[in-house]
Structure 1
Amino acid sequence: AEQGFQQLHADLAAAADRASDPKERVVELGRAYVRWAIDHPDHYQVMFGGESLKAEQPSVAVAGEQAFSDLLDAITKCQEAGIVGDRDPREVAAPLWSLVHGIASLAIGGQLGAVGIVQAPDDIIAGVVAQVL
C-alpha cells in the first residue's frame, strides 16, 4: 500500500506539473488518479481497503497523506486565483476526491459500462470538476 501511494503521488505530481492553469490542474489530478487506479487495480484495492492498515503501519498513512496533499495544493492554487473561496481546502477536496474515487472504483469494477455509461472516465472527471469548482 505504501508503495502504491508513493507511485500515485509521483503520477499526480507529474500530472499537476503539466497543467496550464489552476482549474486544469485539478482536472488533470482527477484524470491521473483514475488512470492510475485503472492501471493498478490490485494496489488500489489494498490502498483503500480499510483504515486498519494505516493504523498498523503509520508510514502508509504518511504516504497516503502525501498523495492527498497534491489535491490540497491544487485547491490552494485555485483559491489564490480566485476560483475557489477561502474555505478550508479539505472541505473543497472532500466532494472532489469522493467523486473521483467513486469514478475510479466504478471503472475498475466495470460498473460504468454495466449501467450504460459509455463516457470515458477522463471525460467524466472534467465534468465533475466543472460542477464542483
Structure 2
Amino acid sequence: MNPKTPTPKQPYHHGDLRRALLDAAEAELAEKGVEGFTLRGCAKRAGVSHAAPAYHFKDANALLTALATIGFERLNRSMTSRQHAERGDPRQDLVAAGVGYVAFARDNPMLFKLMFGSERPSSEDSDLVQHASGAFATLVNGVRDIRGDDPMADADGLKDIAAAWSIVHGIANLLIAGRMGFLQPLLERDPETVLADIIERSLPQQ
C-alpha cells in the first residue's frame, strides 16, 4: 500500500449502537425527565460521539419515540403476565391487568410520563401506534370478557372502557406524583394485593 494513500474511513461501529443508545436514553430520561432530555446527553452516557446517534435517530424526538414504543411493549407485558397468572375469572383478570398497569408506572415513572404526558414521541410512528394499540386492546378485551360483548360497539361499553382505564391511570398518576403517602405503609407490605383491592373496590359490584 502506498503510505501516502489515506486509509478509507471505516463505518462507525459500537456493537449494537441502537440498543446502547436506547439504554442510555432510558437512564437519561429517568435522571433528567423529558424536559432535560438531550441527544448529546444520551451520546455521552453511551460513550459515543455526539454525532453517533444520527446513524439510527434523526433527533432526540425520534429516540424518545423509540423509547416510548418500548415502554408500551413493556406495559402490555406487565398487564398480560398478571392476567395469565390469574387464569379464569374475567373480573379478576381485569383487576390483575390493572395491577400490572400501575406496577409498570411505579417502576418506570419518567417513562410512563413520556408515554402519556409528552408530545415529543411521534403519534404517527407505526411501531409506536402498534404497541400502544396492543396495550389498549388488553384493556378492551378485559372489559369485553366481563360484559360478554364488544364494548366498542355501544355507548355503555365505551363508558366502561373509559372508567376502567381512568381508574388505573388515576391511581398510577397519584402514586408517582407522591399524592398517596397515606397508603405507603400498606404498599410497603404487599403492594400488589393492596392495588388489586383498590381496583376491585372501584369496579361495579356484581
Match of 1:129 in 2: 200
Match of 1:8 in 2: 75
Aligned ranges for residues 16-95 of structure 1 at < 5 Å? 16-19=83-86, 20-50=88-118, 53-80=121-148, 89-95=157-163
Is the 1:5–1:64 contact (alpha carbons within 8 Å) kept by the matching residues of 2?
Answer: yes
CA distance in 2, matches of 1:78, 1:41: 30
Which structure has greater helix proportion?
1
Is the 1:12–1:29 contact (alpha carbons within 8 Å) kept by the matching residues of 2?
Answer: yes
Is the 2:167–2:202 contact (alpha carbons within 8 Å) kept by the matching residues of 1?
Answer: no
CA distance in 2, matches of 1:52, 1:129: 34
Calculate percent identity across the aligned residue pairs. 28
Is the 2:75–2:104 contact (alpha carbons within 8 Å) kept by the matching residues of 1?
Answer: yes
Is the 1:72–1:90 contact (alpha carbons within 8 Å) kept by the matching residues of 2?
Answer: no
After TM superposition, the runs of 4+ consecutive aligned structure 1 residues lying more than 6 A away are: none
Offset, 1:54:
4.2
User: Residues 7 and 57 from structure 1, CA distance in 2 versus in 1: closer, same or farther, beyond 3 angstroms?
Assistant: same
Q: Which runs of 5+ in 2 are unaligned?
A: 1-67
- How many residues align? The count is 127
Is the 1:26–1:71 contact (alpha carbons within 8 Å) kept by the matching residues of 2?
Answer: yes
What's the Cα RMSD here? 2.4
Correspondence 1:106 to 2:177: no
Deviation per CA, 1:9-42: give whole Å up to 9, x if none.
1121111111231000011011111111111112
Deviation per CA, 1:75-98: give whole Å up to 9, x if none.
1111129xxxx8654321111111
Q: Which runs of 5+ in 1 are unaligned?
A: none
User: Residues 42 and 26 from structure 1, CA distance in 2 versus in 1: closer, same or farther, beyond 3 angstroms?
Assistant: same
